[in-house]
Amino acid sequence: MDVPSRLRVLRPPRESDRRRSRGRCRREISSSSSSSLSPQSRGSNPQPPMDEEVPDDAVLSDVDGEEDSSIAVPADVSAADQRVRDILAELEQERRARKAAEDSRADLRTSINRLKAFAQDVIKKRDDALREKDDAARSAERAGVELSEALKQKEEAVRLKEEAIKHKDEALRQKEEALKQKDSSRAEIETAAQMLVTGIDKISSKVSGFKKFSAGLPRSQKYTGLPAVAYGVVKRANEIAEELSKQIEAATKTRDEAREQIEQRNYEIAIEVSQLEATISGLREETAKKGSEIELLSKIIDERDSRISEMEHEISDLRQSGDESSGKLRNLEAKVDAWRPMIIDQLKHISKLYEHINEIVCITEDRYSDQTDSSDSAFIWKEMDMDDNLRNSLEGTTLVCELAKVACEKVRLRMEERCQKVKDLEDKIADLLEEKQHIGTLLRSALSSKTNEVLQVAEKGLREAGIELKLNKNNDSHFHRKEEDEVYSLAGALENTVKASQIEIIELKHLVEALRRSTVDIFGFAGATDLDLPLAESSLLKAHLDAQAKERSQQMLKLKELEEKERIASESVEGLMMDIAVAEEEIARWKLATEQEAAAGKAVEQEFLAQLSSMRHELDDAKQGTAELEKKLKFKEETAAAAMAARDAAENSLRLADTRAARLRERVEELTRQLELLDKNDSVTRNNHRYICWPWQWLGLSSLRYQADVQDSNSNEMELSEPLL
């Protein structure tokens, strides 16, 4: 900073000095002519008074004063000739001095031109440095604006993060509610499965008289849970139905066989009755046969009584089975009544699930839907129609599945938008960091290169001007000491240095001119000695040096103040850099937090999708179970109706069998009376064969009559055998 204070610029001889030397020569010529006229004044050198005005032409330069002091005044007679020769010699000396002054003037002019070129280069570089400083300030302002925008975006991202946390809490709450609903539905499914298992076990225990089934329900490799239980129940019901159908077929077969046997026995009874009638007609010869036949008839009657008792037992069994089927029907009706509240609860839970998923869709779209009234109509319980209720349940589950698909799509779109925003923020932050680093490197490189060039040019110009000054040491040390600071303080210091050097150059020029003028004013008289001028000039130079020392001390104080300002500016820049580093760390933490939040959101979304799929499968399974239960209920209703019809038919057949048994008893009693009458008449008409017309007996008229009686008895026996069917 103190380089311009050391510069010393030599002023070239001016045109006014040359005019002064010419005027002095004229005055000497005139004085010599006057001295030739008045010899009294030869030995003296007249001095002009100090208070008179001395024209510019009469002022002598320092060189002229020194040369004139060495000239001696002649004292001989030929003084005029000597004066002329002296004047000619003095003119010759003046020419040589003028030539030397012109040479020195040319040298000084070249040095001044070089100094001007150096000053122009310095000014140009100062303007470049100012332009770069303005560009750096504008870039810093842009960086500040972008940093404020980044902070705003950060606040927006924090707000989005809070909203995502709220959505996450809402999803967790919905998840807990779904888990509760799932547990309740699972408990209901378990109770339904237990009821199905106990019901089918009771049914199988009631049917165990026909066939013993294995313990437990049949297993299925295709279904699990409630569908597997329903599959086992349906399979066991099918087995029971098949066994009942087999028993019915066996009963019909035994009935047909009994009918055939009864018909055969009726034919045999008809034959036996015909034989009895033949024996009655034969009377005596067939008495033994009639006794045997009576015993046989008694046996047959006993067998018929036993068969009738067996039939009554079977009828009682049929009545018992009818009662059991009616009890089963009542149990089925009770089960249907028990399942009705379960289906109502299922419809309620499905409607709640639809409302919650609809709320999720509304939250993702930032709106509120009013479609609950239209959707609630699909979940209304109808007291009178079970099919409509099941159909409403199916429609509700379909609506829930469709709404779950829409909710999944909305959540996926929202997560994709959030990931895209995070990615855009990361790209913008990376671009800002790269731009900052690039600006810093460009400013440092430009400042270092231009500072070195400026110092080299300044040192070269000073060296050409005759001043040996090393500008690289202080400036290099200063540059290396402040290299790590920001470029703004260095550019300002360089600008201040260039301005101070220009001001000092201008002040030195004015000071040299003032010194020249003061020396001419002080030593302008012709009789001055050679020692007076250097002493006066040295005193003036000393005073000027003292003033320059004071100015230098003031400049050093200013330099210290500038260094303190630079230190404060560097500290402020370091603080800004630390703030930027803290902001970068905060952005990195925010980025990491957003990535973690996005990963957590994806995990929650996947878990929610898995739960939706599991709930969908469970709904499908429940739907299949309800369909199978509906089929089973229809089958049981049909079987109950068939059992009731069979019970009515059995009661009718029992009544018909009672009537036919009464008729059969009456017929047997009539036959016994006829046998008793025949026995009585046999004793009376044993020896009355003479009254019989033998041709009619030989012609077989009695046998023909007997056959007609047999046919009548056969028809009666057929009528009596019908109740046994």
Dump pLDDT digits (tens) for 181-198: 888 887 887 887 778 777
- Top mean pLDDT of 212-221, 366-375, 541-550, 666-675 is at 666-675
Alpha-carbon gap, residue 725 to 722, rounded angstroms: 5
| Confidence grade of residue 572 (pLDDT, cut at 50, 70, 90) | low
pLDDT for the residue numbered 214: 67
pTM across the whole model = 0.23
pLDDT for the residue numbered 81: 83
Per DSSP, the residues of 159-208 read HHHHHHHHHHHHHHHHHHHHHHHHHHHHHHHHHHHHHHHHHHHHHHHHGG
| Confidence grade of residue 9 (pLDDT, cut at 50, 70, 90) | very low
Per-residue pLDDT reduced to its tens digit, 476-510 = 444 444 444 555 565 566 566 657 766 766 776 67
Give the N- to C-terminal CA distance of the chain in Å, as an integer. 141
| Confidence grade of residue 723 (pLDDT, cut at 50, 70, 90) | very low
Percent of the chain exceeding pLDDT 90 equals 0
pLDDT for the residue numbered 181: 84
Q: Mean pLDDT across the stretch 395-410?
A: 78
DSSP class of 216: S
Compute the mean pLDDT over every residue in the chain, rounded to the nearest whole number: 68
Alpha-carbon gap, residue 372 to 107, rounded angstroms: 104
Q: Mean pLDDT across the stretch 566-589?
A: 68
pLDDT tops 80 at residue 169: yes
pLDDT tops 60 at residue 426: yes
Phi, psi of 10 (to 5 degrees): -85, 130
pLDDT tops 70 at residue 10: no
What does the H/E/C string look like for 460-508?
A: HHHHHCCCCCCCHHHHHHHHHHCCCCCHHHHHHHHHHHHHHHHHHHHHH
Higher-scoring residue by pLDDT: 261, 2: 261
Higher-scoring residue by pLDDT: 24, 56: 24
pLDDT for the residue numbered 337: 75
Per-residue pLDDT reduced to its tens digit, 258-277 = 778 877 877 787 787 677 66
369 sits in which H/E element: none
Burial class (CB in 10 A: 0-12, 13-18, 19+), 205: exposed
pLDDT for the residue numbered 295: 77
Higher-scoring residue by pLDDT: 66, 344: 344
Higher-scoring residue by pLDDT: 575, 533: 575
Q: Mean pLDDT across the stretch 536-565?
A: 69
Higher-scoring residue by pLDDT: 451, 358: 358
pLDDT for the residue numbered 699: 40
Report angle CA 196, 197, 202 to the nearest 5 degrees.
100
Weakest-pLDDT range from 152-161, 369-378, 432-441, 636-645:
369-378
pLDDT for the residue numbered 380: 53
| Confidence grade of residue 524 (pLDDT, cut at 50, 70, 90) | very low
pLDDT tops 60 at residue 239: yes
Percent of the chain exceeding pLDDT 70 equals 56
Burial class (CB in 10 A: 0-12, 13-18, 19+), 113: exposed
Alpha-carbon gap, residue 436 to 716, rounded angstroms: 126
- Top mean pLDDT of 331-340, 361-370, 512-521 is at 331-340
Rg (CA), the chain: 72
pLDDT tops 70 at residue 85: yes
Per-residue pLDDT reduced to its tens digit, 706-720 = 344 444 444 444 444
pLDDT for the residue numbered 22: 62
pLDDT for the residue numbered 575: 66
pLDDT for the residue numbered 99: 87
Per-residue pLDDT reduced to its tens digit, 86-137 = 888 888 888 888 888 888 888 888 888 888 888 888 888 888 888 888 888 8
pLDDT tops 70 at residue 159: yes
Q: Mean pLDDT across the stretch 10-37?
A: 54
688 sits in which H/E element: none
Weakest-pLDDT range from 23-37, 48-62, 160-174, 490-504:
48-62
pLDDT tops 80 at residue 292: no
Phi, psi of 215 (to 5 degrees): -70, 140
Alpha-carbon gap, residue 487 to 14, rounded angstroms: 46
- Top mean pLDDT of 170-174, 208-212, 372-376, 530-534 is at 170-174
pLDDT for the residue numbered 41: 40
pLDDT for the residue numbered 698: 40
